[in-house]
Copies of this chain bind each other. A is one copy, B any other.
Amino acid sequence: MARYFEDIEVGETYELDGRHEFDREEIKSFAERYDPQPFHLDEGAAEESIFGSLAASGWHTASACMRLLVEGFLDPETSMGASGVEELRWLEPVHPGDTLRVEVTVLDKRPSESRPEMGHVRTKLTGYNQHDDAVIEWTADGMHRRRD
């Protein structure tokens, strides 16, 4: 059943079912293409960095959380994109073998003033690793279709 603007409850926290496991190959291949800094590409360089061992690009971590958000929260019938995110924080490094899950809390919502067919929903997303450490968080303004 499609989840419209009206169906999203302010104050609710959604614990999404999906998981994303990071492996060494994906960390390096993402970094080679989009974030070729030594601590994302090379174990030796990572050991000498503040990360201590090979660490995923923060954009890779964000993208993996987006995947979980699309699969577990955003409805293709009703989700209309987002204009941006606030306060994107990389709280802890993500290393090979880490598995992430995502929680989404609805902070606020309001009908669009200019486009009556949609509304804005402000959410806070937090990504946790397998030790339940928060590794990433952001706040986003998403656009969702209204029922009528």
Which A residues contact B (CB, under 8 angstroms)?
A: 30, 33-39, 49-51, 57-60, 62-64, 66-67, 70-71, 74, 76, 79-90, 143
Contacts and interface: CB of A to CB of B under 8 A. Distances in A.
Contacts of A35: 63, 66-67, 70
A64 B57 CA distance: 12
Contacts of A86: 86-88
Nearest to A59: B63
Nearest to A41: B76
Contact of A90 (B36, B59, B70, B82): B82
A38 to B, nearest CB: 5
A70 B37 contact: yes
Given A34-B67, A39-B81, A83-B90, 12 more contacts: A34-B63, A35-B63, A35-B67, A50-B143, A58-B84, A59-B59, A59-B62, A59-B66, A60-B63, A63-B63, A83-B89, A86-B86
